[in-house]
Chain A
Amino acid sequence: MEGEQKGVFLAAAEDNLVQQAQQGSRQAYADLIRKYYGSVYMVCLGYLGNPTDAEDTAQEVFLKGYMKIRTLRRPEQFEGWIRRIAKNESRNFLRRRRKETSLFAFPAEIFAAKDCLETSYEELQSAIAGMPADLRVPLLMYYFDGRKADHVAQALGVSRISIYRRLKEAVGLLGEVLRKGREG
């Protein structure tokens, strides 16, 4: 999978993208957007719960990222850095809106994209919607990141152990919610 076996050369090329963007290269920054849009979007979705809000916020995040990229001292930390911006922006968004997260929903398009999977995306969606954001965000990011807890920990600025616990709790809760759903 791309990104998983990030070799030395790839890493160097990525650092170069960041450096070029720091010099003002928009093309390079556009490449960075292509690369990291997904994970930024997932952070926003995790916190905001609403696909439209997530999309707006992701755009805001990348814009802010471009404006501030020169303050980034270590190019190799771009990914963690932009995800942290995403986290902060999402929280700011919630604060501005002065209300709790809207009920969690996947983007409608993905239901259409997958037709063979009975109705369980909806089931999954409602199970995830029932979780507190603290657990939901790591869970979504974990799966989206190709099961790399380290990445999630770095992006959320919490310890590896703590993220592991939260993931365990999230998965456990998922199981419980599903079981109750069935019993009920």
Chain B
Amino acid sequence: MKDSCRDIGELLAERLLGPLAPAQQERLERHLERCAACRQVARQLEKHDRYLSDWSQTMRAYLSDKAERAAEAFLAAGPIRQTRPLRWGWVVSAAAVVMAGAAVWLMQPSRKDIEFRQELFKGIVSEPAPADRISAVPVVRNQGQLEEQTKIQLRQARYFFETKNIPALAALYQSGTEPTRLAVLDYLAQINTPEALRVLEDLQKQSAPPPAEPNQHSAIVPRAGSVPGAAKKQTEPPVAAVEPARPVWFDPNAVDADNWRTGVLGIQVVDAVTGEPIPGAELKFDAAEGIAVRQAKTNQFGRYELAISSSKPRFFRIEVRKKSYVPKLLMWAPEIHPAEVPLQIAVRMSPAASVGGLVRTVEGEPLEGVRIRLDSFKTAPGETNLFEPREVLTDHDGRWVFHGFPADAKENVSCSAVHPDYVPIERFGLSAAPESLFSREFLIVMKRAHTVSVRVLNSDRNPMEGAVVWMGSHPALLESKYKTDREGICRISPCPPGTVYLVATAEGFAPSMQKVYIDDSLGEVLFELTSGLSADFRVVDSRGYSLPGVKIEAYEWRFAKNASEYRLLIPFSSSVTDVQGAAVLKNLPAGKVVCRIAKSGFASYENFCIEPEQPSRYEIVLLPAGNLTGRVLDAQTGLPVEQFTLIDGYDWENQGKPVWQPHLRKEFSGGRYEKVLYRQDVGLAVRIEADGYLPAASRVYWNEGREVVEDIYLQKDTRALIGTVLDTNGLPVSSVSVYIDNRDSSILIQDGRILMQPPITRSVCTDSEGRFVLSAVQKPYRLLVCEKDGWAMAEDSLFEKEPVLRLQPWSRVEGRFFVQNKPSPNQILILSCLVESDALQRAWSNSYRVTTDAQGRFFCSRLFPGQITISRLLPSDEIDTIHSVQLTKIQVKPGQTVFIELGKEGRRVTGRLRLTEDMQGRSGEHISLSIQASVPQAEPKPFPDFEMPVDYFLMTPEEQEQWIADLMKTPQMKAYYQKTDQTEKPFLLEAEVRADGTFIADGVPPGSYILSGMVHRPGTVRDSVEWYFRSLGKIHTVFEVPPTAGEEDSGKSVDIGEIAVKPLRELTVGEPLELPAMEDLQGHPIFLSDYTGRYLLVDFVMISGPFQHEKTLEELKQLYRLHQPSGRLDVLSVCLEPFAAYERRNASVLKALRHFSEKKEIPWKIGLLLSPLDFDTALYRTLFAARGSSLFLVDPQGRIAALDIPLDRLEETLAHYLPAELGNP
């Protein structure tokens, strides 16, 4: 390609700003050889570049003279008053003077000082109520005494600050000297809890800080020594001529100090329960740079001070250990905890306690030699409890004990149990409640597992050593990897029975995937790897020039990913483009492969799909990564907002709505944000959050290779509320967490405890008066408290009316579980309850999992009141489902304890389903079967009357949705649906079905029942569309459980024999279509026979189906116009609109439909169903498998010619039938 002089001009400019890439340099030189005009420009530019450089030196010389004169003029000027910084800044700096003074003084400790310090801290440590002591400090008389007293008070203040003792700080303020008072105010501001701020405000009201010119106190004092003679005035201690004897704990590297400029970090280790300092705790430091000390111990005040040279070391960690405490790890590292290392670190160590549990097999036998590992958990960002040793083994009785568990643990702990031959029956990890651990009753049930043997061969059928085999329950969740031995074999054990995915990979070969079902019958799994396919790429820039150095990597294939964030690394192919911008990806598997195409400085493609079987060359244009930038301004004042947080939002599918990524947040300062639009195929938006403001978001931007500017205006949050948490007696509750749930967050509740995933979910903590501050929360939100003594929930509207959360007592359920009149031990029961929210249109579900003890007893202490569903967990063989059967539903009132005996009354019911071959699965999990009491069904209530707007069917789907939502809020509709709920059957029990179709249900009292259920397609995901609409059979039968004659009879089971399954089917091509009864818009009946002799296109439409789809309607009209005159084709629309079916007689619906038909000029008939379609009919099943809207073609004899015709195949399909017919009259 020939370069234009304009392009070369750009290159010349670029060259002035830095060296060019070799390719560009070459281009430039080639052009300059040819083009005299450009040569001239280049020479001129170089010359002017030289002049500009030269000129800048001249300017510098000229200006240095000017500078000198300006400085002199400044010195000679009269008094200039310096503006005081913001009040807080001033207090802080004034306090810092004082503190720095203390620091300098402490750096040269005399013996007297040290003794004095010991004396001082001894007093504080031993006395829990220092406030009295402070007031006892004698009144001072002279200047020397005053200074001495100030020093004591300052250190007291510091100690109270570190231990966050707010009342003591307040008391100290009352008796303190002026510098002490300033320091106290500063500390309160730093503690920054609602309580501290309230105290601070009170103190300020009491006596405003003295209006002294801060100059006199001087401001920030640098570390002594760095600037000789600076601010010596009040910092000089009595000079000690002789080096004092150092106490044992004195470390030459440890000095008291206040900020990073002096490079000292203060560490205070305290007991998490009592708050007492812990002396002699062992500290182990590790940092990327800048520390001299690696190990140390805390002094008798639990303190240690470490010299460190950087506040943002690339990596910094502290391990703290002390006997009878749980060791703790604090860590600062870019990925883990990117915050700045604070000046003062308070380490709260939990006292260690012993916990334990037991492991049994499904058969109830104790299991020895199980390795139990408790997962250490984060106690705060960057802070983790270390559990040592990492694992404990179960003994002969299946019991295990672990001694280093935090005694103050409140949250559930996840744990794992590993045995060579057994696996836990719970698939999704084990979670232990602290109380069950402390009582050593935590039960883990395990079942026997299998060994899977995998052999990997190359294309010559030779074994491959070192091939990697991955295994997981889903291709995206390949959790473990194994290497093959010399025979190309790897054995994977223990594997739970069920479906797994295996992927074999090796360098130079395409990966291969297999789905296998693990059970006793599974033989060796064989992989034959081939070198696979390849794909060619060429990458150019926006001007069509080749781009070398672009990295192209294949990273996803059938959901298996090669991305480090997914913890996996399948060595898929990757390549880099050469000088011609060309690259080849090799060893690709067949099927869709997702690639990432990236080069630094350019916006990348993250989801570039290729299909290697269809060889083609992929031409890609990379644009430079543009910028999204702008100011962040206060909407009222227009002034920049200094500090804010930016959160990324991605628009993956061009929907105009970003999905916020709360974990991708970045702090900004200076009133300006900037974000590189680094992805070409993903839209990017930013959301700005700042203290005191409501969050605001930008539009979604797509990279166009240039800078886009959007200023973001923040509205002040005037709704900052102070809430209070009150207990059941109306008293405030301190130190409880209030969780804020909104659209971005997710709260999981298990066993009445909140499992939070910070930073996605925010929480605030109450102070000693039960108060908490809520600000900058976007509506709608809900607040939730789950505490030992009770729980509370409030929606935004309620909370803003009265900002109080009152704890309600938990409801409890206590019970026994019987099977055939015998208490049943080791059964896992799940009690679940819901709390719904109107505002968020979401419900919190709290599921409580209990295991029955030897007497079949169970107890749940933390349940929401209302309806509680009790189900029993069945041992499951499918990986991705939890299989449970529902036992009963009960109602519980707040604070009530309900006693329940499950299965005691009734008898066991057994029977067998007659399953056809295609209905048989590997287990009975695809069959849902329930037993309901047979009670006469109430006459269905008439659907309430409503007024549909005449243009309803012309509205957008969003408007329609809104209208329906509004309709549902009307009292009539609410009443209708409520009534429907209340007519539920009094007795409902799910039966356990086995693979051969036999079923069991325990605890069915005498009476008459309906047994009903569905046989779903084996292997479909539970509750998916497939599950419901592609089901294979329906069960519906009536049976009796006779009354028991005597005690012995009650233990006997009732066998109801073999039950037939009614097969459910879908329509097939060639069978006659049976139209359901329907009428047209004028009330005339429509029959299929009306259309005999013609082809009929039946258009089944849902409310937001093709009726909404302009294209379908237009296409149908066009086809109709084309074929109708020949009399060979007609069209009929069948309205599946539920309103029409239920409420045909509602005049407004009919009117709206007629209006629609007229407006859209629909020339054919629109049919309305006289009654809703029956669930069992083949038509219903066909339509709903097609998600409602569907086009059928019926031949002139009334038989189905084509089913579910896609719109883009419609013309083709019609062409296939109609011309053939015309050709053969």
Contacts and interface: CB of A to CB of B under 8 A. Distances in A.
A149 B70 contact: no
Interface of B: 9-10, 12-14, 16-17, 37, 40-41, 44-45, 47-49, 51-56, 58-64, 66-68, 70-75, 77, 80-86, 89-90, 93, 214-215, 218-222, 226-227, 230-231, 261, 627, 629, 670, 672, 674, 676, 707
Contacts of B37: 179
Interface in A40-76: 41-42, 55, 58-59, 62-63, 66-71, 73
A174 B48 contact: yes
Given A38-B60, A59-B73, A71 B85 contact: yes
Contacts of B80: 63, 66-67
Interface string A1-16: 0000000000011011
Contact of A37 (B54, B66, B261): B66
A162 B66 contact: no
Ordered nearest first, which 4 A-B pairs have the shortest CB separation? Answer: A37-B67, A172-B13, A38-B63, A30-B71
A121 B51 contact: yes
6 contacts: A13-B226, A23-B221, A38-B67, A71-B89, A114-B55, A179-B41
Nearest to B84: A70
A98 B64 CA distance: 31
Given A157-B672, A174-B45, A178-B44, A62 B51 contact: no
Given A37-B71, A71-B83, A149-B17, 4 more contacts: A59-B70, A67-B80, A109-B62, A179-B41
Given A22-B220, A26-B74, A59-B70, A172 B10 contact: yes
A176 to B, nearest CB: 7
A164 interface: yes
B40 A16 contact: no
Contacts of A176: 9
A55 B66 contact: yes
B82 A175 contact: no
B89 A162 contact: no
A127 B219 contact: no
A92 interface: no
B670 A157 contact: yes
Interface of A: 12-13, 15-16, 19-20, 22-24, 26-27, 29-31, 33-35, 37-38, 41-42, 55, 58-59, 62-63, 66-71, 73, 106-107, 109-110, 113-114, 117, 120-121, 124, 127, 139, 143-144, 146-147, 149, 157-159, 161-162, 164-165, 167-169, 171-172, 174-176, 178-179, 182
Nearest to A171: B13
Nearest to A24: B215
Contacts of B676: 161
Given A144-B60, A172-B10, A175-B9, A58 B70 contact: yes
Nearest to A114: B58
Given A159-B629, A171-B16, A23 B219 contact: yes
B629 A162 contact: yes
A63 B16 CA distance: 36
Nearest to B86: A71
Contacts of A121: 51, 55
Contacts of B67: 33-35, 37-38
B986 to A, nearest CB: 69
A168 B14 contact: yes
A70 B85 contact: yes
B44 A37 contact: no
Contacts of A139: 52
B540 to A, nearest CB: 21
Contact of B68 (A34, A110, A113, A120): A34
B401 to A, nearest CB: 53
A88 B615 CA distance: 60
Given A23-B220, A34-B68, A143-B52, A29 B74 contact: yes
Contact of B70 (A19, A37, A169): A37
Contact of B58 (A62, A110, A167): A110
A79 to B, nearest CB: 14
B89 A70 contact: yes
Nearest to A75: B220
A106 B59 CA distance: 9
B707 A110 contact: no
Contacts of B85: 70-71
Nearest to B671: A157
Given A66-B80, A70-B83, A70-B219, A124 B230 contact: no
Contacts of A144: 56, 59-60
A12 B74 CA distance: 24
Contacts of B60: 38, 144
Given A26-B75, A34-B68, A107 B44 contact: no
A74 to B, nearest CB: 10
Given A38-B64, A73-B89, A110 B59 contact: yes
